Structure formats: C-alpha cells, structure tokens
Amino acid sequence: MSFTVSSSVGQTFDVAVTEISVVAEDEAIHAVTIASDVQSAPSISTEDGMSMAIGGDATAVGEDTLAVAEVSAFLGDDGNVQIASGSADFLAIGEGDPGTYANAYSYVDFVGDADQVVTLNVSVTEYVQEPDQAAWYSSSESTLFAMDVDDVPAGEPVDDVVAVDDIAEPEPSLELPLTLEPSEDPACGCSGDEPSYTIDDNVVLFDVSATAVADNTVVTVDFFGLTVEDQLSTATVGVILGIE
C-alpha cells in the first residue's frame, strides 16, 4: 500500500491511498484507489461579482453499465453577502468481460472576491479483475462553498509549506462498495448508508440543479448522455453560473 500526504498550512491537505491484492494467482486481482484533497483560502479577483464552473463525466464500458451525473449549484447576492455553493457527484459502474472499465471525474472552479473559499475533492476507484469477468466502480465528488461579506477584507494566502514524512500507513476508513468473491458473478453496490445499485443493461441517470439570485445573473447547463447496448454508458455535465 502507498500513502502520501502533502499540506500547505491553512490551505491544502491531500491524501492518496492505493492498495492492490491478488486473491489467487491467475484467478483475481482486487485494486482500490482513494484520493482526496481539501483547500481553504481567500479569493481575490479583479472581476466584479462571482462565477462558478462545475461538472464532470462518468463512463462505464461493459455488458452491464451505469453512469450517474448529479450536479447542484447556487450563487446568491442579497446586497450585503454573496454566497457560492456547489456539489458534483459522478458515478460509473461496469460489469462484464475482462475488458470492462469505469471512470468518473468531477471538478469545480470559482472566480470572484470571497473572504473564504473551501473546496473538497474525493475520488474512489475499485475493481475486481478475473480471467473471464470483471467489475469496476468509480466515483468522484467535488464540493465548494464560498462567502463574501461586504466591507470585510480578504486575507492573504499563507505560503508556508509543512512537509509530513514517515506517516504510518492507515487502513482505509471507507468501507468500499465491491465485495466480490472470485467464484461469484461481478456485482457492485454500496454499503452502510450509501445507495446500492443493481446493474442491468446500460443506463444513464442525470440530476442537475442550477440557481443564480442577484440583480444580474447567468446560468448555462450543458449535458450529454449516451448508452450502447451491452457496451457503454457515459454521462457528461457542465454548468456555468455568474452573478454581478
């Protein structure tokens, strides 16, 4: 297992965990990758107002596939306080022959003056690969919150860097969604309070909400979905919001 941490005081904290295990030689390979980063800092811009771009994509290749795209975004200005919040959740699941694959990606970008901007990115990829079948799970989540209160000056970012070495390898705190014995058919769901999915055929799901409240606003939403029977599910969403 490999585990790395990098941090910048008051601004970023990054974690990546990778684990690969062989259940039995020539029978099954089980791999898990978890990555996350948190960033927190003021934002200073020469542009008026606030703008945000948020979205991502999910693609699954296989006999039975699912691609889910969920995006929620809000910008608001009541004259004294400006707020930006957004979340992008993308999920890809594939089951089928050894060529099965799944990948999810999400992003969120912010431009504008803000006393503080906090972003969180988390991604999980897990697969079980056997000689005659495979199951893949990939999820990516990006979250942002920013606030600007009039007449409160934004602070300067902290540039000091703290190096963290010789950190003990942790056990993943997340109970991962794939629990597959080599003799079973590939199946994927989620444990705990997470939703579970029964994959049948090739499916794409969308859930998008975007709202801007101010004197001058703009909202654009672009989305694309495609399924190919017994082959593919893919979903892409891009949302841009602006207020002034």
| Residues 119, 143 contacting (CB under 8 angstroms) | yes
- Give the pLDDT of residue 45: 83
Count CB neighbours of 235 within 10 A.
Answer: 27
Place of tokens 């859930």: 207
- Give the pLDDT of residue 165: 45
| Residues 131, 23 contacting (CB under 8 angstroms) | no
- Give the pLDDT of residue 199: 74
Q: CA 186 → CA 28, 29, 83, 193, distances in Å?
A: 11, 13, 44, 21
- Give the pLDDT of residue 175: 39
- Give the pLDDT of residue 57: 98
Count CB neighbours of 206 within 10 A.
Answer: 15
DSSP annotation string for 210-231: EEEESSSEEEEEEEEEEEETTT
User: Tens digit of pLDDT for each residue in 98-109?
Assistant: 999 999 999 999
Query: Does residue 49 carry a pLDDT above 80?
Result: yes
Q: Could you give the count of Cα atoms lying within 13 Å of 119 in the half-sphere of its Cβ?
A: 22
- Give the pLDDT of residue 52: 97
Distance separating alpha carbons of residues 233 and 34, to the nearest angstrom: 23
| Residues 54, 114 contacting (CB under 8 angstroms) | no
- Give the pLDDT of residue 153: 58
User: Tens digit of pLDDT for each residue in 193-235?
Assistant: 444 556 779 999 999 999 999 999 999 999 999 999 999 999 9
User: Tens digit of pLDDT for each residue in 146-199?
Assistant: 999 987 655 544 444 444 444 344 444 333 344 333 334 444 444 444 445 567
- Segment 125-141 shows an average pLDDT of 94
User: Tens digit of pLDDT for each residue in 7-33?
Assistant: 443 466 677 777 777 666 567 888 999
Count CB neighbours of 40 within 10 A.
Answer: 16
